[in-house]
Structure 1
Amino acid sequence: MKKILFLGAAQAQLPPIHYALDQGYYVITCDYLPDNPGHFFADESHEVSTTDKEAVLELARRLEVDAVVAYASDPAAPTAAYVAEVLGLPGNPYDSVELLARKDKFREFLVEHGFNAPRSCSFYSIDDARAWLATLQLPVFVKPVDSSGNKGITCLENPADLDDAFLYALQFSREQKVVIEERIDQVGFQIDSDVFMFNGELRFWLWADAHFDPLCSPPFPIANSYPTTLDPRIGEKAAAELERILATLGFRSGAFNVEFLVDAQGEIWFLEIGPRNGGDFIPDTILQATGVDLVKATVDSALGLDCSWVKRVEPRGFWSNYVVHSLEAGILESISISETLRERLVCKAITVHDGDEVDCARGSHNTLGVLVIRFKSLEEMHSMLANMHDHITIRVTSQQKVAVNG
């Protein structure tokens, strides 16, 4: 029986865990949080941090695993690559995975190889950051170099706010390093979706329009909608440039979550190429829209199985995920969904309960749940996603009121 070590046992990691169990594989989960749900489905679980490369290596060696999977987790992706490389298991080059997981190294790579990249520089010291900020035109983005899911990001419009933005970014950086970069003026939607490579060839790519909630600060990513409104010629160009990036870095197989912008000249600016599947049910939405199962492909690829069956398919119908989130912090009273939206729901996973403490949305750590939705038309999809607060009502009692009344 094949043994698979999954790095992460959170809600987001459940799809590949369930797939592996359905296939009859022996599932081992590794996560320092003992109450994460994946542990309860696994054949065997271990409370080991997914970012502790040597501890995970020792575990994988002792258990004689056949594959290591880091699904929808940037912090765990380098660990999975490291363990696979040391043990001779299927995987991608550790140095290349680590490069993609670090914003500072990725920006340097883009510049070195002639790809578009925003002006950016990374800092351990806030004094050095302040000096460099004076050379830029605001607004700029302040980000942790090694985090994803919008965590730790500030769109800085006033230099006086740098200290707060820098310290906020540090809260989400294991490296304790912060990158400051210029904002690119985009045309149309930002693009965010998953792709899949097998044997060095980009076998599958499907671009999605990324939607943000402007009521959050910074704007919070709430949805990826299919089909995209991106010009197909630019979509083809982006796929070709992406394949060249991945080939240059020596990638062979696996899923990647890709974010990019397009400027007024039709130039492509890659923001992130995560060496793992996207979170927030992106692979699940793609499966509904196309029938292409990137969860299966990810697990099969980690086992070294043939994934030549993965092929590009255009979406059928109008699909989106949606990240349920709150605009205020406090104690959750209820989440209600309109009848119109309920009629269009294909999947719903709410991860909080009435009475739980919730925060206002700033990053993926503030997600309250995820939906998969099928709309009747492109126009309806864009209209509803732009006005989703009319369809999802989240009632929160402020903690301050609770304290006073209690």
Structure 2
Amino acid sequence: MNEQKLAIVLGGTSPHVLLVNKLKERGYYVLLIDYLENPPAKKVADEHLRESTLDQDKVLEIAKERKADLVISTCIDQANSVCCYVAEKLGLPHPYSYKTSLEVTDKGLMKRIFVENGIPTSNYTTTESVDSIDWNLVQYPAVVKPVDCNSSKGVRRVDSDEETRLRVAEAIEMSRTKTAIIEGFNSGAEIQVDCVSTQSGVKVMMTRQKQKIASDGNDMVLQSYGSVFPAPLSDEFKRQAQEIAEKIANAFKLENTPFFYQAIVTETGIKVLEFAPRIGGGLSYHVLKSFGDYDAVECAIDSFLGKTIVVEPKEQTRFHSTNLLYMRPGVFDSVVGLEELHQKGFVTDCFVMKSKGCKIDSDMRSSNRVAAFIVEGESYEELKQKARKTFASVEIRDIQGNDLLNREIYSNL
């Protein structure tokens, strides 16, 4: 081990399994830091320490003591910030400044920079208490969320002062800095735009449109069960998407790094919700690599190491969709029927994201996704037909053998 370079990976999430493997291929001894006892990436790491990835001083202490050559996280916002903090303290390579990392992990700072740099976004206000809400800046419908949480945690739509007070109190409680943001709600399709800032310009590698979870009108959670690729955008909206990508890279001084932004396509133009100077979690890597010929993890590692990224977008000739499986509260046991559809070729690929015995609660956040599948076709309608049949055929069973697949959320498919 003494002759090997040491890479510290912050966060043992499933997408980091690939990160660990790619670092080992590059000759690194990989030390994983994650407070969980058995995070998914533990099985491939050389070593695992149970510490919080968000405790920057503890991570600094470990990196200094172990003489780390690299501290990296590719798909966790707050962990990326810790990486930049430690790297600046120890003189290690990193993709952007610690200051930038703070600006993109605090949604209030991010929105302010959007406004200052002409990046189209909704009106907003931040508050540290229910009593200090600036009601002059609140217009309904609106969205309330913590300024600094992952996994869409605490994101709620509100339509009245009473709802706003309730959700702001919840968001403040969830926030590490005890701050909530209230922003205007825009109607329209939600898209994600995956980009890379390179020496030859900003490249839009792929677009996707989110598939929204069905709601009875009282469900305040704003969440999706997957995406379709590429997003059905007109030439004008494609032009806007490219222009916005360039403005974001310039505003946050992003050079030689992957990033993505999420936005709403409104009748008057694209409005940006937020962005992150990293690669996406979940199935993002798989889709980008398989259907966009873009290895996002390799690019992320090169970005951290300061190696020049050279990529070009690939023209999409077929349509694809990712579909996420959520279960009702219970203890997960198995997914039944999905692998069979994959073997028959009806499903292009499938993934199980949770281990047997994992407890699932009722929250619709991304960390509660149990499994997922990808279908492809020659039209958006073909994607829908394949997804409907798959959702109807698959079961998610708990340890008592009950089917707990939450089918209601897919009823608008």
Q: TM-score range by the shorter chain?
A: 0.7 to 0.9
Which residue number in structure 2 is paired with residue 175 of structure 1?
177
Distance in 1, matches of 2:317 and 2:242, equals 20
Q: Runs of 5+ in structure 1 lacking a partner?
A: 399-406
Q: 1:355 to 1:80 in 2, by over 3 A?
A: closer
2:122 match: 118
Report 1:82-97 matches (<5 A).
82-86=85-89, 87-97=91-101
- Deviation of 1:191 after TM superposition, in Å, equals 0.8
Provide the C-alpha distance between the structure 2 equivalents of 1:5 and 1:354, rounded to a whole number of angstroms.
28
The structural deviation recorded for 1:386 is 6.9
1:269: Cα distance to partner?
A: 1.2
Q: CA deviation at 1:235?
A: 1.8
CA distance change for structure 1 residues 222 and 84 in 2, over 3 Å: closer, same or farther?
same
Distance of 2:57 and 2:200 partners within structure 1? 28
Matched, 1:103 2:107: yes
Secondary structure of the residue aligned to 1:207 is strand
CA deviation map 1:213-258 (0-9, x unaligned): 1246424222122122011332232222222222232211222131
CA distance in 1, matches of 2:209, 2:137: 32
Helix, strand or coil at the partner of 1:278: coil
Distance 2:306 2:138 in 1: 47
Q: Hey, what does 1:195 align to over in structure 2?
A: 195
Match of 2:17 in 1: 14
Q: Does 1:77 align with 2:69?
A: no
**In structure 1, what is the equivalent of residue 209 of structure 2?**
209
Aligned equivalent of 1:320: 321
Please tell me the residue identity of whatever aligns with 2:51.
V
**Cα distance in structure 2, aligned partners of 1:107 and 1:162:** 19
C-alpha separation between the residues in 1 aligned to 2:238 and 2:68? 38
Match of 1:285 in 2: 287
Aligned CA distance change for structure 1 residues 170 and 255 (closer, same or farther; 3 Å): same
Tell me the SS of whatever aligns to 1:228: coil
- Matched residues, number: 391
Q: Deviations over 1:292-330 (max 9, x none)?
A: 11111111222222322x21112342222222113x323
Which of 55, 60, 65 is matched with 1:62 structurally? 65
Match of 2:403 in 1: none
Question: Quick one: which of 295, 298, 301 aligns to 1:296?
Answer: 298
Q: Helix, strand or coil for the counterpart of 1:345?
A: coil
Q: 1:30 to 1:356 in 2, by over 3 A?
A: closer
Structure 1 residues 39 and 357, CA, compared in 2 at 3 Å: closer, same or farther?
A: closer
Q: Aligned equivalents of 1:352 and 1:44: distance in 2?
A: 21
Match of 2:406 in 1: none
1:385/1:109 CA distance change after superposition, 3 Å: farther
Output the amino acid matched with 1:127: D
The aligned runs of 1:354-373 (5 Å cut-off) are 356-373=358-375
Q: From the superposition, tell whether residues 388 and 256 of structure 1 become closer, same or farther in structure 2 (CA, over 3 Å).
A: farther
Structure 1: how far apart are the matches of 2:10 and 2:53?
A: 6
Match of 2:245 among 236, 242, 245: 242
Change (3 A) 1:2 1:135: closer
Change (3 A) 1:202 1:295: same
RMSD: 2.6
Aligned positions of 1:218-257 closer than 5 A: 218-257=221-260
Tell whether the 8 Å contact from 1:194 to 1:282 is kept in structure 2 after alignment.
Answer: no
The whole-number CA distance in structure 2 between the counterparts of 1:347 and 1:62 is 42
Distance 1:27 1:344, change over 3 A: farther
Deviation (angstroms), 1:384: 4.4
Within 1, Cα distance between the matches of 2:317 and 2:87? 36
Q: Map residues 376-387 of structure 1 onto 2, 5 A cutoff.
A: 376-385=378-387
Q: 1:4 to 1:387 in 2, by over 3 A?
A: same
Q: Look up the equivalent residue of 2:321 and give its one-letter code.
A: S
Q: State the one-letter code of the partner of 2:214.
A: P
SS at match of 1:49: coil
- Alignment partners' CA distance in 2, 1:344 and 1:98: 44
Q: Deviations over 1:96-150 (max 9, x none)?
A: 1211121111111111222222111111101223xx3476332211101012332
TM-aligned CA distance change 1:378 to 1:250, over 3 Å: same
Deviation at 1:183, TM superposition (A): 0.5
Distance in 1 (alpha carbons) for counterparts of 2:8 and 2:169:
35
Q: Distance in 2 between matches of 1:364 and 1:103?
A: 19
After TM superposition, the structure 1 stretch with the greater mean CA deviation from structure 2, 386-395 or 220-229, is: 386-395
Per the alignment, do residues 293 and 353 of structure 1 end up closer, same or farther by CA in structure 2, a change over 3 Å counting?
closer
Paired residue secondary structure (1:206)? strand
TM-superposed CA distance for 1:94, in Å, is 1.4
> Could you tell me whether the CA contact under 8 Å between 1:329 and 1:396 is conserved in 2?
no
* 8 A Cα contact 2:341 2:347, kept in partner: no
Are 2:375 and 2:386, in contact at CA under 8 Å, matched by a contact in 1?
Answer: no
Aligned to 2:167: 165
Relative distance call for 1:82 and 1:356 in structure 2 (3 A) is closer
Amino acid at match of 1:329: P
* C-alpha distance 127-389 of structure 1, shift in aligned 2 (>3 A): farther
Structure 2 vs 1, CA of residues 315 and 17 (structure 1 numbering), >3 Å: closer, same or farther?
Answer: farther
SS in 1 for 2:77: coil
- Seen in structure 2, the aligned counterparts of structure 1 residues 111 and 135 have a Cα distance that, compared at 3 Å, is closer
SS at match of 2:287: helix
Does the C-alpha gap of structure 1 residues 47 and 355 become closer, same or farther in structure 2, counting only changes over 3 Å?
closer
Distance in 2 (CA, whole Å) between partners of 1:397 and 1:230 is: 44
Cα deviation code 1:262-283 (max 9, x no counterpart)? 2212x22111111211111112
Deviations, residues 331-376 of structure 1 (Å, cap 9, x unaligned) = 4465434666763334322233565432234211221133333335
SS at the partner of 1:208? Answer: strand
Quick one: which amino acid aligns to residue 380 of structure 1? E
Relative to 1, partners in 2 of residues 1:177 and 1:200: Cα closer, same or farther, differing over 3 Å?
Answer: farther
Contact 1:253/1:301 (8 A) holds in 2:
yes
- TM-score between the two structures when normalised by the length of structure 1: 0.87
